[in-house]
Structure 1
Amino acid sequence: MRSRARLLDAATALLATGGADAVTIDAVTASAGVARATLYRHFANGTELVAAAFARLLPPAPPVPEDGDLRSRLVELLAAQARIIEEAPIPLTAMCWMGLGPGIGELPKEPGRSERPELQSLREILVDRYRSSFDRVLATSEARRELGDFDYDLVLVQLLGPIVFNRLATLAPIDRRACEHIVDDFIAARRARRTDR
């Protein structure tokens, strides 16, 4: 397993400094000091290696706030997500945002995925890591009472979209106060929509 760790270390370093194009089989094996045959024992192809390297660059999901009302929990979670997004390299932020794509709730599960986590797509990794935090806040009875029925994917876009756009546009970092505004506007819009019906 040491050779696998060295390969992943090399691929991650190349990805962080040169982007996905820098992660070639030759560059990774040379940097890791490992033969090509060894690489192919651990990874089926270069795409699988790049996906594993991307997954390594992703910061851990923020802790889910357990206390407070829906608004305060969403503000805490959004502020934590904003810090993660702000610290991530811009190409990684863009890849992650695009990796979510439409219909993220309907991901196929293939047999054998748990044995080789690098086979997961970037999209699945993002969902597993980051969406689960929102699940624990939005899938509550309090959220359903306050927000009514909602399109889950659209809610994530409404909450996280401004933060990701801000990062991609290289504007000043979004602070807690801005997160409060995003959450307040979101909740107000949901309430207004419910009373219009």
Structure 2
Amino acid sequence: MSTQTSNVDDDPDVDPRRLRSRARLLDAAARLLTTGGVEAVTIDAVTRASKVAKTTLYRHFGSGTELLAATFERLLPQATRPPATGSLRDQLVALLSQQAALIEEAPLHLSLLAWVSLGPTEGGDDGGSRNSLRARVVENYRKPFDELLASPRARAELGDFDLTLALAQLLGPLVFGVMTGIRIIDRADCVRIVDDFFATHGPREA
């Protein structure tokens, strides 16, 4: 979501009518996105479905990409909390399995991942909206893993390692497998991914 959009949400002095019109636009865009995919979220379709004028839409969102980014962000699930108990290995397996289930059970999440992986449209000025959403998606994915892997316990068990590369090793197979349709990533796959990670970085807990 753009900085402008966030400020509208957070500022208590914004005209309530403006908040209502923005909510109607996002509600309409969310319905179109969930039923018809990214291609269905056009300026004309959103204004028709929301019964909000185009001039009003452009007061909230500078482009169709900015509107789509805000819609995706509204539908972005909350970050999964890591399990509170268990060995580090078991916690990572549980967390990775939760992420795999989230992607597998929510087709819209795949659309989000595919969309943010693209660059800005050719000749467009919408890279900021897409990049801002991409940063939020990355944060959403990595936050629970950061919490586990940046802990003193993880450093003691695994030694010194690059946290970003560790996230790529853990999440990369999951996202690639699901997005390409090569296979459905199940808990057994997550166990193998985590065990390979431990084999690379340190002794695996029994």
User: Which TM-score applies when normalising by structure 2?
Assistant: 0.75
How far is the alpha carbon of 1:159 from its aligned partner? 0.4
**Mean Cα displacement is larger for which, 59-68 or 26-35?**
59-68
Residue 2 of structure 1 is matched in structure 2 by 20
Query: What is the aligned residue count?
Result: 173
C-alpha root-mean-square deviation of aligned residues, in Å? Answer: 2.2
SS of residue matched to 1:52: helix
Q: Percent identity?
A: 56
Residue 202 of structure 2 is matched in structure 1 by 191
Q: Deviations over 1:145-172 (max 9, x none)?
A: 2222222221111101111121123244
Q: Of 108, 115, 125, which residue of structure 2 is paired with 1:95?
A: 115
Residue 150 of structure 1 is matched in structure 2 by 161
Query: Given that residues 30 and 71 in structure 2 are in contact (C-alpha distance below 8 angstroms), is that contact kept between their aligned partners in structure 1?
Result: yes
Change (3 A) 1:188 1:119: closer
Matched, 1:30 2:48: yes
Change (3 A) 1:119 1:163: closer
Q: How does 1:34-183 map to 2 (within 5 A)?
A: 34-89=52-107, 90-96=110-116, 98=117, 121-183=132-194
Task: Give the counterpart letter for 1:177 in structure 2.
Answer: A
Query: Given that residues 38 and 111 in structure 2 are in contact (C-alpha distance below 8 angstroms), is that contact kept between their aligned partners in structure 1?
Result: no
Change (3 A) 1:158 1:119: closer
- In structure 2, the gaps of 5 or more residues are 1-18, 119-128
User: Which TM-score applies when normalising by structure 1?
Assistant: 0.78
Matches of 2:39 and 2:185, distance apart in 1: 30
